[in-house]
Structure 1
Amino acid sequence: MLIPSLALVVTGGVFAGIRFYDGIHAREWSNGLTIQIAPVIGFVDAAQNERARSLGVANGDPRVLGDLQTARKATDAAVQKMSDIALSLQRLNPDAMTKSTPAFRALVAQLPAIRERVDGRALADDDIDDFYTKLVGVVATGLDGAARTSPFPATVAEETVASGLLRISDLGARAAGIAAAASGNISSTSDRLRYITLVASLHNQLDAVSEKLTGAELTRYQRLVASDEWRLLVGGQPELAETGQLPSGWSVAQRKVDAELKGLWGDQFQDAEREAVSAAERMLVWAIVAGVAVLVIAVLAFVVATHLARALVARLRSLRNETLELAEHVLPAMVQRLHDGQPVDVDSELVVIDAGIDEIGEVAEAFNAAQRTAVAAAEAEAKTRGGINRVYLDIARRSQVVVHQQLKVLDAAEAKQDDPEHLELLFQLDHLATRARRNAENLLILGGEQPGRKWRQPVSLEEVVRSAVSETRDFSRVSAVRLPEVRVHGRAVADLIHLLAELIDNASAFSPPDAVVSVGGHLVGKG
Structure 2
Amino acid sequence: MDLASPPAPATSVKDAVARSVKPRTIRSRLLRILGICLAGLLALLGVIAAGHVSDYRNAAHGAANARLEITLQAFVHELQKERGLTLGYVGGVTSFRAPMTAQRKTTDAARTTLENTLTEHDDEAADTVRATMGRLDALTGIRQSADNGTAKVEPTFNWFTSTLIALDRPDLGLEDVQDEQLRDAFRTLQVIGNAKEFTGEERAIVLGSLDAGGRFRGDDYSRFMQMRAGRLAALDAVPRTATPGERRRLADALSTPEAQRTFDYEDNAVRGAGKLSARDIPPMSWYQSITATIDGLRGVQVSIGDDIQARAVELERRAGLDLLLFLVFALVMAAAVGALARNCVRSVSGPLSRLADQARDVAGVRLPKAVAAVQAADGEQPDPPEPLTPDAHAGAEVRDVAEAFDRVQRAAFDLATEQAVLRRNATESLVSLGRRNQNLVRRQISFINRLEHEDADPDTLANLFELDHLATRMRRNAESLLVLAGESSPRTWSTALSMTDVLRASLSEVEEYRRVTLRRVDTAHISGLHVAEVAHLFAELVENALSFSPPESEVEIEGRRTSEGYLVAIVDHGHGMDSKALAEANVRLSGAAGFMAEPTRFLGHFVVGALARRCGIEVRLGEAPAAGVVARVLIPATLLTEPTAKDKKKAAKAAAAGRKSADGGRRPVDLPAPRAEREPAAHGAGADAAPEPGPAREPAAVSAAAPSAARTRNGLVKRPQRSAIAKVVRESGEPERPAPPAPAVERGPDQVSGMLSSLRSAHMRGAISVERERAAAEQSKTSGTTSGTSGTEAEGKGEK
TM-score with structure 2 setting the length:
0.33
Greater share of helix = 1
Larger radius of gyration: 1
